[in-house]
């Protein structure tokens, strides 16, 4: 993928594309560079714009089905205070700020700290969510970067769950 900006000539005619990033570049690397160039404005993009960047998502109907079948491991990456006020039933709360270290722990240490089995790299349906979607996406991308290929993002987030399930 080449991210390029047009260079215009007389009367606005496009002369050539000027590469902004080398080819090939991962979506993660592209977002890192763009965040550096765009600053805080990129953080204000709607969740859908981030989601299009490549993290697999789970819709509410898919999430319902996965939960009903017992096939999903659900991770609430909001703060402990947010999760204490309410969460999706069965979710394990690991704030996004500690997720990377949690996923790199030895299984026994993870079990001792979170009272739950540590997810395995090969687990199929690891679903991450937050309140609005941004931290859930960040957590999903982090888990995938660490090798958790089954990590998926519930983009509707807890907000959608509350509106449609509570």
Structural domain spans, the chain = 4-44, 60-165
What Å distances lie between residue 85 and 45, 80, 82, 120, 162, CA to CA? 27, 9, 5, 28, 12
Angle ∠(72,74,78) on CA atoms, nearest 5: 165
Dump pLDDT digits (tens) for 8-52. Answer: 555 555 555 555 545 444 555 555 566 566 655 544 444 433 444
User: Is 137 labeled as catalytic in the residue annotation?
Assistant: no
pLDDT at 89: 95
What is the CATH code for 60-165? 3.40.250.10
What phi and psi values does residue 130 have, to the nearest 5 degrees? Answer: -140, -150
Contact 131, 157 (CB under 8 A): yes
In 3D space, the residue among 28, 26, 32, 45 whose CA is nearest the CA of residue 143 turns out to be 28
- Residue 77, pLDDT above cutoff 60: yes
Identify the weakest region by mean pLDDT among 6-15, 92-101, 102-111, 144-153.
6-15
Decide if 62 contacts 96 (C-beta within 8 A): no
Three-state DSSP class for residue 29: helix
Asked whether the whole model's pTM tops 0.75, one would answer no
Whether the bond between 94 and the residue before it is cis, its omega within 30 degrees of 0, is no
pLDDT tens-digit readout, 120-158: 999 999 999 999 999 999 999 999 999 999 999 999 999
Least confident of 28-32, 48-52, 75-79, 113-117: 48-52
Which residue, among 131, 128, 102, 97, has the nearest Cα to 116 in the 3D structure? 102
Structure-token match 């319902």, residue found:
64
Q: Which of 66, 91, 130, 139 is catalytic?
A: 130
């Amino acid at each position: 993928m080449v991210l390029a900006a047009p260079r215009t000539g007389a009367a606005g005619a496009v002369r050539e594309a000027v590469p902004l990033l080398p080819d090939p570049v991962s979506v993660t690397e592209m977002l890192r560079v763009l965040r550096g160039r765009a600053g805080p404005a990129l953080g204000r993009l709607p969740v859908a714009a981030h989601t299009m960047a490549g993290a697999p998502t789970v819709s509410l109907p898919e999430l319902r089905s996965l939960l009903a079948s017992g096939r999903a491991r659900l991770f609430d990456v909001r703060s402990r205070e947010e999760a204490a006020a309410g969460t999706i039933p069965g979710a394990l709360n690991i704030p996004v700020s500690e997720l990377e270290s949690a996923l790199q722990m030895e299984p026994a240490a993870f079990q001792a700290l979170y009272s739950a089995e540590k997810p395995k790299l090969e687990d199929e349906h690891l679903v991450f969510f937050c309140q609005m979607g941004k931290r859930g996406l960040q957590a999903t991308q982090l888990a995938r970067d660490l090798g958790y290929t089954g990590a998926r993002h519930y983009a509707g987030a807890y907000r959608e769950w509350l509106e449609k399930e509570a």
